[in-house]
Chains A and B, each alone.
Chain A
Amino acid sequence: MGWLRRFATALPLVSVLTLLGCASEGSGVQSQKMATIKARGSLICGTDGKLPGFGSLGPDGRYVGLDVDTCRAVAAAVLGDGEKVEFRDLNPSERFAALSSGEVDLLARNTTMTLSRDAAGGNGLSFAPTTFYDGQGVMVPAASGLADLKALAGKPVCVPSGTTSELNLADRMREQGIVYTPLKFQTLDQMYTAYLSGRCAAVSTDRSQLAAQRSTFPQPKAHTVLPVVMSKEPLTPATINADPAWADAVRWTLFALMQAEEMGITQANVAAKVAEAKANPNQADLRRFLGVEGDFGRQLGLPADFVVRAIGAVGNYGEMFERNLGQMSKLKLERGVNRLWTQGGLIYSPPFR
């Protein structure tokens, strides 16, 4: 089998050389993923599919949510149409395998960015900007009178199996020397059914998710999300490490939505802003951002007006938030740390230069 081994070892070398050859040409971008998506005519996006606010089916059978809008924005930037998305419902166990096997092009499924998921020696993902800064919380029945983690000693706690929630809870409880019983469930439906039937004294996962799920309970007011925040959960869309050009295109499409909010560009006024930019050569920032001048789009391998298309499809980041999670939604979450940096939040886009 000597020739086979030689062939096998030579293959990565050849592909690296090919990649290097492409990169040194310098004419635009060579993203295999983007070429595949364009040839297919649609973006395949991995979402939760059952989580209100992030990705779920609306009453009209259309997917809605913050993660869903992320997918639509990217589809609009690449293909010019925010509707050219195929959604795949993924559970926590499937999501990384689905991404690394190429089953989905983009994973926007309220996934926490962590070192081991990012590292090439771990899951080998490439993370886009964080679209929602979350933290893990605990929800208890209001009538139970449980107020903090210490009160959960010796009690069963429902957690989704195989998520960072499971590890965080174990870590926090170990730190404080609290012995508890974790009951793990593969699907959120099962977990919340067990919680509502009273099998668990508490349920623990991301605070936004708790609030989202509580909104679907028969009596939302009968349950309290405790003030304790036991972890940082930056929920972040991800692509594979192997295609940096595709990762860049996704990254800057999402930054564009944040930058648009900062510049006051909305879904409603984006056309007027383009006209304004075209008419006024002195507005260099706006002209570059909207692709009226410069070649940002070409550098990313995207159309020149990718920002306009993305905003046209889903609006700016603030609009996405309010529509899916904020005051215009059932969840009524506060913006909190998910405000723009100019308002004291963490949403910050690097300059479009």
Chain B
Amino acid sequence: MPWLIQAAVGLVVLVLVAFLLGNLVRNLTQAGLLLTWSWLGNPAGFEMAETAIPFDAAMPYWRALLAGLANTLKVVLAGLVGATVLGTLVGTASFSSNGLLRRLARVYVELIRNIPLLLQLVFWYFVVFLALPNGAAALQLPGVVLAKAGLYLSWFDPAWQWQGPQLINGVWTAPLRITVEFAALLTGLVIYTGAFIAEVVRGGVASVPKGQWEAANSLGFSPLQTLTRIVLPQALRVIVPGLNSQYISLAKSSSLAVACGYTDLYSVAETTLNQTGRAVEVVVILLGSYLVIDLVISGLMNGLNSLVQLRER
């Protein structure tokens, strides 16, 4: 009677979970830490340096946490795009007929993936971006100004005129400004995850039999056409599952933002925890948020995976 055994095992698991939960509630009650959520409606009272959605100190804690989540999503989305582009370029570059390009790609991958991300973030923020000069001495590239106060980019102004960065009274202004905190975090995440994605792409491309290249070549395809029309579509079947893990890992790594002063969900949660003392609730919110972000990424990637797989008839 397999169903009886199933039911018995299920019951035992249920009892165990109930016991553990009861134990948790009892201990939390004794420590005066029983879960309450009413504090979420209290005014947060702290400011944030930059927010993707409007926020000020008079707004409640849940808005603060939401603004933190929006900041996290902002850097994760930008990071996913950047790391994918960089990873694909480097991954395909390691098959280049140009030896220098091939070797550069290998050096990049081996250098970056063997150094802890936290150290890289500290490096990008404190050593690179905080070393940028301010004012007239700032690094000026066409359409972009890199200064300690932020990165200033050309974009359309409110009157839809293309507008570059301008120096007014020693202070740069531009239609688009990115803080160095965001820039450092994004750079770190893109370069770090890009190295792993490059390996995933390289593995995917290598999985396509050599005969496919040769066949395309003999039919008169150019190397670029061979890559984009013949090899990459086949390689995607191998690449997508590997990408999934890298995307999830990038989303989780974004919580290292505290190392470079970016106000992400983790940073807001930490402040909230300190102001309210609701450690368990805040950690539950944190765990839940990252879990949901990663499940969404994973779900989307699994959907993509089923699209690119070979359909056998």
Chain A residues proximal to chain B, CB less than 8 Å: 1, 4-5, 8, 11-12, 15, 92-93, 96-97, 100-101, 116-117, 120, 122-124, 156, 161-163, 166-167, 170-171, 173-174, 180-186, 190, 193-194, 197-199, 241-242
By a CB distance below 8 angstroms, the chain A residues around B273 are 93, 162
- A162, B270: Cβ atoms closer than 8 Å: yes
> What chain A residues lie within 8 Å of B261 (beta carbons)?
183-185, 190, 194, 199
Query: Which of A97, A167, A181, A186 is in CB contact (< 8 Å) with B46?
Result: A167
**Cβ-closest chain B residue relative to A158:** B261
A15 to B271, CA, bound (A): 34
Q: Are B270 and A166 in contact (CB under 8 A)?
A: no
Ranked nearest first, the 3 interchain pairs of A and B with the lowest CB-CB distance are A162-B274, A123-B277, A197-B130
B33 touches A100 (CB 8 A): yes
Q: Looking at B58, B148, B261, B271, which has the most chain A CB atoms within 10 Å of its CB?
A: B261
In the assembled complex, the Cα of A12 lies from the Cα of B29 at a distance in Å of 9
Q: Which residues of A contact B180 (CB under 8 A)?
A: 199
CB distance from A198 to the nearest CB of B (A): 6
Q: Which of A120, A174, A194 contacts B130 (CB 8 A)?
A: A194
Whole-angstrom CA separation of A117 from B259 in the bound complex: 27
Assess A4 versus B22: contact at CB under 8 Å? Given A93-B270, A93-B274, A162-B273. yes
Q: Give 1 or 0 for each of B47-59: 1 = CB within 8 Å of chain A CB.
A: 1111000000110
**Contact with B258, one of A4, A117, A163, A186 (Cβ below 8 angstroms):** A186
Residues of chain A within 8 A of B270, CB atoms compared: 93, 161-162, 186
Contacts of A193 in B (CB 8 A): 126, 130
**How many angstroms between the C-alpha atoms of A232 and B277 in the bound complex?**
20
Indicate if the CB atoms of B126 and A183 lie closer than 8 Å: no
Known contacts A166-B46, A167-B275, A197-B131; A1/B18 CB under 8 A: yes
Contact A156 B275 (CB under 8 A): no
- Write the residues of chain B forming the contact surface with A, with a CB cutoff of 8 angstroms: 18-19, 22, 25-26, 29-33, 45-50, 57-58, 126, 130-131, 134, 148-149, 180-181, 258-259, 261, 263, 267, 270-271, 273-277, 279
Cα–Cα distance between A167 and B50 once the two chains are bound (Å): 17
Q: Are A182 and B258 in contact (CB under 8 A)?
A: no
| Other-chain contact of A171, B30, B45, B274 (Cβ < 8 Å) | B45
Residues on the B chain within 8 Å of A197, using CB: 126, 130-131, 148
CB distance from A101 to the nearest CB of B (A): 8
Measured CB to CB, the nearest residue on chain B to A169 is B47
- Chain B nearest CB from A155 CB (Å) reads 10
Q: A121 — nearest CB in chain B belongs to which residue?
A: B32
- Docked CA distance A173–B49 (Å): 14
**Inter-subunit contact B148/A166 (CB<8 Å):** no
In the assembled complex, the Cα of A97 lies from the Cα of B274 at a distance in Å of: 10
Q: Which of B57, B134, B277 is in CB contact (< 8 Å) with A198?
A: B134
- By a CB distance below 8 angstroms, the chain A residues around B57 are 170-171, 174
- Shortest Cβ gap from B10 to chain A (Å): 16
| Chain B residue with Cβ nearest A154 | B171
Give bound CA distance, A190 to B262, whole Å: 12
- CB contacts (< 8 Å) of B48 on chain A: these are 182
- Contact A116 B277, beta carbon cutoff 8 Å: yes
Interface centre among A101, A156, A173 (most CB of B within 10 A): A156
A5→B22 contact, CB < 8 A:
yes
Q: Are B279 and A96 in contact (CB under 8 A)?
A: yes
A-chain residues with CB within 8 Å of residue B32 when the two chains form the complex: 100, 120, 124, 241-242
- Complexed CA–CA distance, A186 and B260 (Å): 9
Q: Are A162 and B26 in contact (CB under 8 A)?
A: no
Chain A residues with Cβ under 8 A from B134's Cβ?
Answer: 198
Q: Report chain B residues within 8 Å CB of A97.
A: 279
Closest to A179 in B: B47
Contacts of A161 in B (CB 8 A): 258, 267, 270-271, 274
Assembled-state Cα–Cα distance A11/B29 (Å): 11
24 contacts between A and B (CB under 8 A): A12-B29, A93-B273, A96-B277, A100-B31, A116-B276, A123-B277, A124-B32, A124-B277, A171-B45, A171-B57, A174-B57, A174-B58, A181-B49, A182-B47, A184-B261, A184-B267, A186-B258, A186-B270, A190-B261, A194-B126, A194-B130, A197-B130, A197-B131, A199-B180
Q: For A174, what are the chain B residues with a Cβ–Cβ distance below 8 Å? A: 57-58
In this complex, what residue of A is CB-closest to B26?
A8
> Do A184 and B271 form a contact, CB below 8 Å, given A156-B49, A170-B45, A197-B131?
yes
In the assembled complex, which residues on chain B have CB atoms less than 8 Å from the CB atom of A170? 45-47, 57
**Contact A163–B274 (Cβ < 8 Å):** yes
CA distance A8 to B130 in the complex (A): 55
| Residue from A101, A167, A184, A197 whose CB has the most chain B CB atoms within 10 Å | A184
Contact at A8–B25, with CB atoms within 8 Å? yes
The minimal Cβ–Cβ distance linking A11 to chain B, given in whole angstroms, is 6
**Complex Cα gap A92–B277 (Å):** 12
- Considering the chains assembled together, what is the distance between the CA atoms of A171 and B134 in angstroms? 29
CB-CB under 8 A from A12, the residues of chain B are 29-30
Task: Considering the complex, give the chain A residue whose CB is closest to the CB of B22.
Answer: A4
Enumerate chain A residues within 8 angstroms of B274, measured Cβ to Cβ. 92-93, 96, 161-163
